[in-house]
Amino acid sequence: MSNEADLKVVARDVQGKGASRRLRREGLVPGIIYGGGEDPLMIATRHNELIHEAEDEAFFARVLELDLDGKAVKAVVKDLQRHPAKPFVLHVDFQRVGAHDEIRMTVPLHFINEDTAPGVKAGGEVSRMMADVEVLCEAGNLPEYIEVDLGEMEIGDLLHLSDLKLPEGVKLAALSHGEGSEDAAVVTIHAKVAAPEAEEGEGVEGAEGAEGAEGAESGEE
């Protein structure tokens, strides 16, 4: 990580819905920093800067360095509350972390070598069952993403969570309980389903039936 902070935040004393509305009118997003053996701290950050950082998926899957009134604080994003109908962030939660703190985070999956997969070259289609996974690790080992390599997959192949190659020190939350854990499917390559063809003569019969119906209608007039 560079020496430059990922995001600048400031402490705030005033709480409540009214105070939060005033902050938003000033272009600020109210938030909170908690954890790390310290008391929760109410904070605020510039909305445009937060939106800019949030455009990068890695913002939600790595340890950030916050500039809190000139003090460096390492934290991860735990929640980002967005407006249901407008492109606004209403509130942000950060959790303080140390390099050796055990954390539970959701990280995105990056699917690679899809174009060179034998199954795709043979005309198969890729179906992704997941876009991200939840991991358990020390904060210092948190990966920004996990790669899913499709390079050797044939038609009919299926990759499960247990097939993923994880960075050292990283575990999947879904598989952390030993036997009985859900080893869910992540991606498969399947054969394309051909569209059903109309039986020979079906179109002609349909046309003849239509003409007969038209003739009957004309006779009735």
Cβ proximity of 135 and 143 under 8 Å: yes
Same domain (yes/no): 69, 145: no
Q: 29-82 pLDDT, tens per residue?
A: 999 999 988 999 999 999 999 999 999 999 999 999 999 999 999 999 999 999
How many domains does the chain fold into? Answer: 2
Same domain (yes/no): 12, 93: yes
In a domain, 110, yes or no: yes
Percent of the chain whose pLDDT exceeds 90: 71
The mean predicted confidence, pLDDT, of the chain is 87
In a domain, 162, yes or no: yes
- Could you tell me the residue range of the domain that residue 167 belongs to? 103-190
In a domain, 179, yes or no: yes
Res 218: pLDDT? 45
Same domain (yes/no): 80, 56: yes
**Res. 217 pLDDT band, cuts 50 70 90:** very low
In a domain, 214, yes or no: no
Query: What is the value of pTM for the model shown?
Result: 0.77
In a domain, 64, yes or no: yes
Same domain (yes/no): 87, 115: no
Same domain (yes/no): 124, 169: yes
Res 19: pLDDT? 81
- Please, where are the H alpha helices in 1-71? 17-25, 47-54
Same domain (yes/no): 57, 133: no
Q: 86-102 pLDDT, tens per residue?
A: 889 999 999 999 989 99
CATH code for position 143: 2.170.120.20
Same domain (yes/no): 118, 83: no
Res 158: pLDDT? 97
In a domain, 215, yes or no: no
Same domain (yes/no): 32, 84: yes
Decide if pLDDT at 14 tops 90: no
In a domain, 205, yes or no: no
Same domain (yes/no): 92, 151: no
In a domain, 199, yes or no: no
Residue that terminates a domain, selected from 97, 118, 135: 97
CATH code for position 75: 2.40.240.10
